[in-house]
Structure 1
Amino acid sequence: MSEMPPKLAEIVDELASAPRDVVLEMLLEFSDAVPPLPPTLAHDGMEQVPECQTAFFLHAEVGADGVVTTYFDAPPEAPTTRAFAGILAEGLAGATVPEVLAVPDDLYVRMGLAEVISPLRVRGGHAILARLKRQIS
C-alpha cells in the first residue's frame, strides 16, 4: 500500500487486520475525531455528496506548497459517514495533491469495511473520495 500517504496506509492496515467488533469501535473513534469546521466555512462553500445517505459536505483546498487541506461536515447522528471523514482527515493530513490522487479508489474495501457496513455506506465512502480527488485535480 505504498501508494498511499503513510498515515492513511497505517489506518488501512489497522482496520483491515482488526476483528469486526474492534473495527466498529475504531469507526466510532474516527467519527468523534472529525475536526470542527472553521467559522469562515459554511455549507454554501462546501460540496454536498448526494450519494451519502445522510447530509455530507466536503471542501478541499490546495496550499501554495501543494499540501491538501480537507474540511468535512456530517451530522453526529451519522457515525459511519463521520468515520469516513475522520479517516480521511487523519490519514491525509499533510498529504500533497499527488499523494491524495494516488489513494486507491477501493480504499474502503481495502480497509475491510465492506464486511462490516452496508454496501450503500461503502458506496458513499467511494463517492466522498472521488469528489475529494475531483476538487483538487
Structure 2
Amino acid sequence: MTTSPALPTALAEIVNDFKELEERDRLTLLLEFSRSLPPLPERLANHPELLEQVVECQSPLFLTVEAEKTETGEVIRLFFQAPPEAPTTRGFASVLFEGLDGLTAEEILAVPDDMPEQLGLTRAISPLRMRGMSAMLGRVKRKIAGGVRPAV
C-alpha cells in the first residue's frame, strides 16, 4: 500500500482505497461514502445560520467546523449537510469527514489542496464537480485558518 506522505493516516487510507480500484469502480466507492455521511446534530440542524454554503458545489452543500477540547489537545470537528439526491457531493463530504474529523487544525491545514484529484475521479465526474470538491476542502481550511468557534 502506498500512502501520500502529506496526508493524515485515515485520509491516506481512503485515497489508497480509491487508487486500488479500477477507474470505473471509483465512482461506486464514492457513492458508498455518500450513504455514510452522518446527519447534523440537532443543535446545528435547527440552526442553519451556523452553516456556510459552499456555492462552488453544483448541489447545495453546507458545512461548519468547530474546535473541541480533548485530553490530548484541541481537535477539529467537521459537519456537513447535503441532500440525499446529491450523492457525489455527499460522497466527497463523507470522504472529508471520515478522513479529517477529529484531527488537529495543523494536520488539516497541511492536507494538499490537490487531494480531491488524488482520488482518481477526474475522468469519472465533471470538472465542475471536481471544483466543488476542491472548494469543500478549501472552505474547511479557510474556516480553520480564520479561527474556529468552540464546540458547544
- TM-score class, shorter: over 0.9
Aligned to 1:62: 67
Tell me how far 1:108 sits from its aligned partner: 1.1
Tell me how far 1:21 sits from its aligned partner: 2.7
Indicate conservation of the 8 Å contact 1:34/1:86, yes or no: yes
Aligned to 2:51: 46
Tell me how far 1:121 sits from its aligned partner: 0.2
Q: What's the secondary structure of 1:108's corresponding residue?
A: helix
Q: What's the secondary structure of 2:135's corresponding residue?
A: helix
CA deviation string 1:57-107 (max 9, x = no partner): 000011232211000000000000000111011011321111100111011
More off after superposition, 17-26 vs 107-116: 17-26
Q: Which has the higher helix share?
A: 1
Q: Which amino acid aligns with 1:50?
A: V
- Tell me, which stretches of 5 or more residues in structure 1 are unaligned? none
Q: What's the secondary structure of 2:18's corresponding residue?
A: helix
Structure 2: how far apart are the matches of 1:110 and 1:24?
13
Q: CA RMSD for the aligned pairs?
A: 1.0
Higher Rg of the two aligned structures = 2
Q: What's the secondary structure of 1:67's corresponding residue?
A: strand
CA deviation string 1:26-68 (max 9, x = no partner): 1111000001100100321000000011111000011232211
Indicate conservation of the 8 Å contact 2:23/2:121, yes or no: no
% identical equivalent positions: 49
The residue correspondences of 1:81-120 to structure 2 (distance < 5 A) are 81-120=89-128
Alignment of 1:33 onto 2:36: yes
Q: Which has the higher strand share?
A: 2
Q: Which runs of 4+ in 1 moved over 6 A?
A: none
Normalising by structure 2, what TM-score?
A: 0.87
- Tell me, which stretches of 5 or more residues in structure 2 are unaligned? 146-152
Normalising by structure 1, what TM-score?
A: 0.96
